[in-house]
Amino acid sequence: MRSISRLEKTLFRLQSQQACLAYAFAEIAGRPGPVVELGLGLGRTFDHLRRHLPERDIHVFDRVNRAYEDCQPDPALLHLGEIEETLPALASRLSGKVVLANSDLGSHDRELNLIVAAMSARLLPPIMAAGGIVMSDLPLPLDGFQSVPLPPGALEGSYYLYRAPA
Question: How many chain residues touch ligand SAM (CB under 6 A)?
Answer: 16
Tell how strand 78-80 and strand 35-38 pair up: unpaired
Closest residue to ligand SAM, judged by C-beta, is 41
Q: Cα(82)–Cα(96) distance, rounded to whole angstroms?
A: 22
- Kindly report the number of other CB atoms within 10 A of residue 29's CB atom: 9
| Contact residue for ligand SAM among 44, 56, 97, 122 (CB under 6 A) | 44
User: Measured from the CB atom, is 43 or 125 closer to ligand SAM?
Assistant: 43
> What is the footprint of ligand SAM within residues 70-99 (CB under 6 A)?
82-84
Q: Cα(107)–Cα(115) distance, rounded to whole angstroms?
A: 11
42 is a site residue for ligand SAM (CB under 6 A) = yes
**Are 80 and 62 spatial neighbours (Cβ–Cβ below 8 Å)?**
yes
Instruction: List the x/- string, 96-115, binding to ligand SAM by CB under 6 A.
Output: --------xxx---------
122 is a site residue for ligand SAM (CB under 6 A) = no
Please give the DSSP secondary-structure letter assigned to residue 145: P
27 is a site residue for ligand SAM (CB under 6 A) = no
Which residues of this protein are in contact with ligand SAM, per CB under 6 A? 39, 41-45, 62-64, 82-84, 104-106, 116
